[in-house]
Amino acid sequence: MDTSTHPDPQGSLIEDLKRGNSFAYKEAVREYSPGMLAVARFYLDHSSAEEIVQDCWVTVIDAIQKFEGRSGLKTWLHRIVANRCKNKLRSINREVATDFSESLDPELADRFNAKGRWDLPPKLKFHESADTLMENDALSGCLDKHLSALPETQRSALMLYEAHQHKSEDVCNILDINASNLRVLLHRARQKIFLMVETFQETGKC
């Protein structure tokens, strides 16, 4: 999101939140909840994740008093969510299991010959812009379907990095993974989307 046109929109929002201004809360809830949900979904199923995000907002009302602004508000909120999720996982004795071993998608890996050259190269160029592609409801629906089929860890990393534009360092902190693992998660998820769009463009099917 572009905030460069405003001098310091966050500073005044934070002050308003500290004062308990209900309009400021409405604004902040709308702005930051989707990202907080993406964090929570890394750790938990959908309904537990929604619950955690709701609970976090209630604790924010007190916690914000101690917020010193060393990190951005978004990063701070995401860390609160992550910590709460980790506590919850600890209490039910579950861990997030993720495979970081291969960065190439198996389906894509099969498209190279033994020498490492393309055997089945990408046929078409995706010629339309992202905005135009998204006008296509069928494609957008297909994307939804594929995103929800992604392993939760890939999806969360993708959302935090792409949609909520966190720096890699922050994503790693929030999700408790190292930088090279994050690179694998991102690359795996993007390849899946690439394969999906390719199939969609070639066949019109999801």
Partner 1 sequence: MLMCRDLADIASDYIDGELTNRQNLSVKMHLMMCKHCRTFIGNLRASTDLLKVHASRQENEELIRKIDERVAEALGARKSESDGCK
**Strand boundaries in the chain, DSSP class E:** none
Considering only residues 80 to 139 of the shown chain, the ones binding partner 1 according to CB under 8 A are 103-104, 108-109, 112, 115-118, 121-122, 124-126, 129-131, 133-134
Considering the complex, state which of residue 47 and residue 93 has its C-beta at the smaller distance from partner 1.
47
Phi first, then psi: what are they for 106, rounded to 5°?
-55, -40
Rounded to the nearest 10 degrees, the angle between the axes of helix 46-63 and helix 73-91 is: 120
| Interaction pattern, residues 48-87, with partner 1; x per rule: CB under 8 A | --x--xx--xx--x--------------------------
Q: Which residue, 10 or 191, has its beta carbon nearer to partner 1? A: 191
Closest CB to partner 1 among residues 29, 96: 29
Number of other residues whose CB lies within 10 A of the CB of residue 136? 13
Q: Across the strands, what pairs with 118?
A: 112
Q: What angle do CA 80, 148, 32 make, to 5 degrees?
A: 30
Q: Quickly tell me which residue has 């993406």 as its tokens.
A: 38
- Per-residue binding string, partner 1, 16-55, x by CB under 8 A, is ----x-x--xx--xx--xx--x------------x--xx-
Closest CA to 181 of 165, 204, 161: 161
Name 172's Cβ contacts closer than 8 Å, sequence gap at least 6: 178, 179, 182
List interacting residues with partner 1 (CB under 8 A): 20, 22, 25-26, 29-30, 33-34, 37, 50, 53-54, 57-58, 61, 103-104, 108-109, 112, 115-118, 121-122, 124-126, 129-131, 133-134, 140, 143-144, 147, 158-159, 162-164, 168, 183, 186-187, 190-191, 193-194, 197-198
